[in-house]
């Protein structure tokens, strides 16, 4: 079975500091991995996705994530946090051979001025 674990349900960073949101996956076959962002009272929108083309994936708003098979991780980073980054972030996994998507429990990011 596939699953996603997001360590840290709440993360606080100072404006301008590094953002690191952790995601580990469990999958018996190579996965596709996604990071979505949810702003208050809105739906989810895609930040970036890993589809086996390149292990370092760049997304919107300066975010990037690196697929590390040996660590079964897909952590999300941004070098310098901005106030507008405050939101809930979800990691998700699916498989080439499957039809379902599995989401993590989410990480709420707070940016302190």
Q: How far is the CB of 95 from another protein (least distance, A)?
A: 6
Subset of residues 68 to 97 that bind another protein, contact rule: CB under 8 A: 90, 92, 94-96
Q: Strands, DSSP E only, in 10-51? A: 10-14, 19-21, 24-26, 31-38, 44-50
The count of C-alpha atoms lying within 13 angstroms of the C-alpha of 111, restricted to the half-sphere facing its C-beta, is: 17
Q: How far is CA 74 from CA 5, 84, 105, in A?
A: 10, 22, 15
Rounded Cα–Cα distance for residues 29 and 23 (Å): 17
Q: What H or E segment, with its residue span, contains residue 76?
A: strand 73-78
Least Å distance, CB 36 to another protein, is 8
Report the residue from 51, 55, 80, 110 that binds another protein according to the rule CB under 8 A.
Answer: 51
Is residue 104 at the binding interface for another protein, with CB under 8 A as the rule? yes
Q: Give the binding range for another protein (CB under 8 A) out of 15-23, 55-63, 68-76, 102-110.
A: 102-110
Q: Under the rule (CB under 8 A), what is the footprint of another protein?
A: 6, 9, 31-32, 34, 36, 41-46, 49, 51, 90, 92, 94-96, 98-106
């Amino acid at each position: 079975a596939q699953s996603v674990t997001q360590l840290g349900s709440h993360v606080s960073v100072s404006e301008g500091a590094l953002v690191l949101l952790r995601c580990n996956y469990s999958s018996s076959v190579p996965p596709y991995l996604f990071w979505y962002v949810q702003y208050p009272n809105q739906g989810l929108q895609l930040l970036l996705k890993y589809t086996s083309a390149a292990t370092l994936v760049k997304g919107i708003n300066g975010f990037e994530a690196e697929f590390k098979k040996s660590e079964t991780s897909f952590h999300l980073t941004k070098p310098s946090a901005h106030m507008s980054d405050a939101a809930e972030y979800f990691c998700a996994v699916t498989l080439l051979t499957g039809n379902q998507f599995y989401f993590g429990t989410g990480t709420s990011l707070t940016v302190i001025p």
